[in-house]
């Protein structure tokens, strides 16, 4: 964020402040949303929808297709372990750490009576020789029985894929909270202030031009006093995207009857009015049909 110019303190507000008519009503006020003017705020929401949610969908789709393929296009049968050899397996992340497993060689017979072989693995507990002769469950492809897998290995793979999909979902959720969290906080703050906030007079004390990610912004500082007499200063940044007057029109509009909304229950919550995302809903007055004038009886 680079500062373009230091704004001098603006002129003090007029001595007479008038509460905006739309705020002069009982609370809670009726509010409606409107499209944010800040392009960064709009693009952030679009980017989240176009990137995060497809990633979550692809992760779960990959898990479903992988497991569904093995469960619907393969045949389950029993196999007998013919050979079991101990093998030391090193940790992928730390070569100094290792553990022993049993590599299994098994054979099975397909539905048409042909015999095929496969290879599996299991944990080494009491020795690999005890595994020889055991019956295990396997799955093989009907069109190509040479492609086969232990049922226990398939279940473990399914758990790993499910964990990966869950991890991707958690990561995507964290990214959403990190990126959209400030926006959601602004939604909650503006909604509460506009519905129940107390309006009061404000004074524009300072302003300056800034740049964020190459886009121009106007930053304004405003002082106001609460009902308890305490004076506070708030700040707000306005997007100057598509504007050529360097925020002059915004400043002039705000310096005319400067209004601040604050939450009496939470003194730290206040905002310069009008707000960015919400506005007061205009209540249309009932249309009154003019009554025709009655014609008097004229004498002869």
The set of long-range contacts for 44-53, using a CB threshold of 8 Å and a minimum separation of 24, is 44/179, 44/180, 44/183, 45/180, 45/183, 48/176, 48/179, 48/180, 52/172, 52/175, 52/176, 53/172
End-to-end Cα, the chain, rounded Å: 88
Check residue 3 and give its pLDDT: 40
pLDDT at 12 over 90: no
User: Is-contact 194 31, C-beta < 8 A?
Assistant: yes
Gap between the Cα atoms of 240 and 211, Å rounded: 10
pLDDT digits (tens, 9 = 90+) for 250-289: 888 888 899 999 998 887 899 999 888 888 887 654 544 4
Rounded Cα distance, 80 and 104, in Å: 10
Q: Is the pLDDT of residue 23 over 80?
A: yes
Distances (CA, A) of 94 to 91, 157, 164: 5, 22, 21
Instruction: For residue 156, count CB atoms less than 10 angstroms from its CB and return exposed for 0-12, middle for 13-18, buried for 19 or more.
Output: exposed
State yes or no: pLDDT of 8 exceeds 50. Answer: no
Least confidently predicted of 32-46, 132-146, 166-180, 224-238: 32-46
Nearest CA to 29 out of 238, 275, 292 is that of 275
Supply 119's token pair.
């290879």
Q: What is the pLDDT of residue 219?
A: 93
pLDDT at 147 over 60: yes
| Integer angstrom CA distances of residue 148 from 29, 66, 86, 135 | 67, 14, 21, 15
Q: How many CB atoms lie within 10 A of CB 128?
A: 20
pLDDT in tens, 165-224: 677 777 766 766 666 666 777 788 888 999 999 999 999 999 999 988 888 899 999 999
Tell me, what's the pLDDT at 96? 72
Dist. CA 123–CA 98, nearest whole Å: 13
Both structure tokens of 108: 């099975």
- Identify the DSSP state of 90: E
- What pLDDT shows up at residue 11? 41
The pLDDT score that the predictor gives to residue 186 is 78
Residue 167 three-state SS: helix
The pLDDT, as a whole number, for residue 38 is 55
Neighbouring CB atoms inside 10 A of 277's CB total 19
Average of per-residue pLDDT across 109-116:
92
Beta bridge partners of 262: 198, 270
Least confident span in 2-6, 51-55, 107-111, 129-133: 2-6
Q: What is the mean pLDDT of residues 27-41?
A: 71
User: How many Cβ atoms are within 10 Å of 163's Cβ, its own excluded?
Assistant: 11
Percent pLDDT > 70 in the chain is 69
């Amino acid at each position: 964020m680079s500062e373009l110019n230091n704004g001098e303190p603006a002129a003090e507000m007029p001595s007479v402040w008038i509460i905006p008519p739309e705020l002069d009503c009982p609370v809670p006020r009726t509010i409606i949303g409107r499209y944010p003017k800040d392009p960064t705020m709009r693009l952030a929401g679009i980017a989240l929808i176009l990137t995060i949610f497809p990633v979550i969908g692809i992760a779960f789709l990959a898990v479903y297709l992988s497991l569904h393929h093995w469960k619907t296009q393969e045949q389950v049968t029993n196999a007998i372990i013919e050979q079991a050899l101990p093998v030391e397996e090193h940790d992928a992340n730390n070569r100094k750490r290792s553990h022993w497993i049993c590599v299994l060689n098994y054979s099975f017979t397909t539905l048409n009576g042909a015999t095929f072989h496969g290879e599996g693995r299991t944990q080494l507990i009491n020795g690999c020789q005890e595994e020889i002769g055991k019956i295990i469950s396997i799955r093989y492809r009907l069109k190509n029985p040479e492609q086969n897998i232990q049922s226990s290995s398939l279940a473990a793979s399914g758990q790993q894929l499910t964990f990966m999909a869950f991890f991707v979902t958690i990561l995507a959720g964290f990214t959403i909270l990190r990126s959209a969290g400030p926006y959601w906080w602004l939604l909650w703050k503006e909604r509460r202030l506009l519905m129940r906030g107390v309006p009061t007079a404000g004074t524009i004390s300072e302003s300056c031009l800034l740049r964020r990610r190459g886009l121009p912004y106007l930053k304004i500082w405003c002082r106001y006093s609460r009902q308890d007499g305490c004076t506070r200063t708030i700040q707000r940044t306005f997007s100057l995207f598509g504007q050529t007057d360097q925020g002059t029109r915004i400043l002039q509009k705000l310096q005319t009857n400067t209004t601040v909304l604050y939450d009496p229950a939470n003194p730290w919550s206040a905002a310069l009015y009008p707000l960015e995302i919400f506005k007061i809903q205009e209540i249309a007055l009932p249309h009154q049909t003019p009554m025709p004038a009655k014609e008097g009886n004229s004498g002869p």
